[in-house]
Amino acid sequence: MDLVIRDIETLLTMDSDDGLGRLDGAAVGFRDGRVAWVGPSDKAPDAADNLSGKGLIGLPGLVDCHTHAAWAGSRAPEFEARLAGAEYSAILEAGGGILSTVRATRAASEAELVDATRTRLLAMRSRGVTTVEVKSGYGLSVADETKQLKAAAQAGEQAGVHVVTTWLGAHTVPAEHRAHREAYLKQLIEEQLPAVASLASFADAYVDRGAFTIAECEQLFGAAKASGLGLRIHAEQVTYTGAAALAARLGASSADHLEHIDAEGMAAMAAAGTVGVMLPGAMLYLRDPAPPIEALREAGVRLAVATDYNPGTSPVVDLWTAATLASVMLRMTVTEVLRGITVEAARALDLSDRGRVAVGMAGDLVLVRPPVGEPAEPSVLVQHMACHRAEHVVIGGELVGT
Ligand code: NIG
Ligand code: FE
């Protein structure tokens, strides 16, 4: 082995269909960048490098499957306006909100975007996040969407974090097209899509008040799918539109938010295997109602949890905080939440080689020390909010800084 981590107090492999795959006193070995051995520590093979996991909780490298981490500018004034009673959709319809971040992101150079995004990715990595989905959607033109996607990928390389890119040209209609939105839809399909098809793994759309309609989304997703992109969607966040059902029928990998989803949407998602991504940071900041978690569970929808890290609705960089909020605000169980930031988040990104600790998986692992005085039990990771820094992070079989 190149590296073996021995005596891990509590290892949560997630290598099970619905549990945590817990092993006590286990070791994990890495070779050629991948997990090559998992089992009881006293049987672990020799290695060039060795590390003790005594007192620590081990998990697969965390996966943040919904972020808008590549932005420029500040939404602090809008935060204050919302505290004074202004409404999110109304701010957007009046040319602020997402559109204000679009103005700042268009004005930033690619290098400036890379720098800001790298800093944010490193903050995520220090918490144990090793795979991050990053969306565009603050460019809304061919040049600016491609700039954002390239910046996200480059920041990922510089930070040593796996970045999965999603094209969100359909985030909102940009100011210059507000009077003739069909021209923007045409630009999305005929100009942006060909330009981003090789830069992104997924296409996403925000279907809601102040954003896109279900008919526009259907047209866009048809074209995106034909260009080889996977699909994911911002659905049923502020108002109900039926977007989750549509996306599921089109084979989307995930439908995210879901505060206002109905029974038809849930049934369609369960049938298609579309993962429901819970974004409690946005719920908290917008004071949105909780998605119908029990009904989602009963319908058999798989659930992931993500930060939705963005400057407007979820200035939350810390995936552990999202995990805690998901349990407190949505009553997700500890097992659901911990699977939701690992194996189910990987599933939401169609990544079958991570999110679990098992032989052959990506060599990504995080070791966390329980809060002082607490046992190395999974529940303490969820119970205590915003206090987990990773003690060690392994990415691609190598120890990286935290
Ligand atoms: O996921 N709701 C739409 N998109 C983002 C917010 C982006 C923004 O406000 O800048 C979200 O919440
Ligand atoms: Fe989002």
At residue 146, the pLDDT reads: 98
pLDDT grade for 126, boundaries at 50, 70 and 90: very high
Domain check: are 370 and 228 in the same one? no
pLDDT for the residue 303: 98
Residue 225 neighbours by CB under 8 Å, 6+ apart: 203, 231, 250, 251
CA distance 170 to 191: 13
Of 167, 233, 310, 316, which is best to mutate to test ligand 1, by the most ligand atoms within 8 angstroms of its C-beta?
310
32-82 pLDDT tens trace: 999 999 999 999 999 999 999 999 999 999 999 999 999 999 999 999 999
Sequence-separated (6 or more) residues with CB below 8 Å from residue 52: 5, 6, 7
Q: What is the mean pLDDT of the chain?
A: 97
Asked whether residue 30 falls in the same domain as residue 137, the answer is: no
Pair 50, 143 in one domain: no
List CB-based neighbours of ion ligand 2 within 5 Å: 308
- Is the model's pLDDT at 399 over the cut of 90? yes
Given this model, what pLDDT does residue 85 score? 95
d(CA 274, CA 140): 26
Q: Could you tell me if the CB of 206 is within 6 A of ligand 1?
A: yes
Output the CA torsion sign for 112, 113, 118, 124.
positive
Ligand 1 proximity of 101 Cβ (cutoff 6 Å): yes
Domain harbouring 31, CATH code: 2.30.40.10
The reply to whether 271 and 375 lie within a common domain is: no
pLDDT of residue 128 exceeding 90, the answer is: yes
pLDDT of 240 over the 90 cut = yes
The answer on pLDDT for 310 being more than 90 is: yes
Q: Which residues contact 143 (CB under 8 A, 6 or more apart)?
A: none
pLDDT over 90 at 401, yes or no: no
| Domain limits for position 50 | 3-60+356-400
Residues 154 and 21 in one domain: no
Residues 306 and 365 in one domain: no
> 216 and 242, same structural domain?
yes
Q: Are 80 and 214 members of one domain?
A: yes
Probe residue for ligand 1, chosen from 68, 101, 148, 238 as the CB with the greatest number of ligand atoms within 8 Å: 68
Residues 264 and 309 in one domain: yes
* pLDDT value at residue 402: 83
Query: Are 255 and 303 in the same domain?
Result: yes
| Each residue's pLDDT tens digit, 341-351 | 999 999 999 99
Q: Is 347 in the pocket of ligand 1 (CB under 6 A)?
A: no
Q: Which ligand is nearest to the CA of 284?
A: 1
300 plus 378 within the same structural domain = no
Out of 64, 88, 92, 98, give the residue to mutate to test ligand 1, the one with the largest number of ligand atoms within 8 Å of its CB: 98
> How far, in Å, from the CA of 141 to the mean position of ligand 2?
19
- The answer to whether the beta carbons of residues 322 and 285 sit under 8 Å apart is no
Flag whether pLDDT at 10 surpasses 90: yes
Q: What's 300's domain CATH number? A: 3.20.20.140
Among the listed residues 214, 201, 206, the one whose alpha carbon sits nearest the alpha carbon of residue 256: 206
Cα–ligand 1 centroid distance for 355 (angstroms): 25
At 210, the pLDDT band (50, 70, 90 cuts) reads: confident
The residue from 313, 332, 348 where one domain ends is 348
Cα–Cα distance, 157 to 15 (Å, whole number): 28
**Amino acid 369: pLDDT:** 98
Number of domains in the chain: 2
What is the Cβ-side half-sphere exposure of residue 116, based on CA atoms within 13 angstroms?
A: 20
Over residues 252-265, the mean pLDDT reads 98
One domain for residues 203 and 221: yes
Q: Express each pLDDT in 171-184 by its tens digit.
A: 999 999 999 999 99
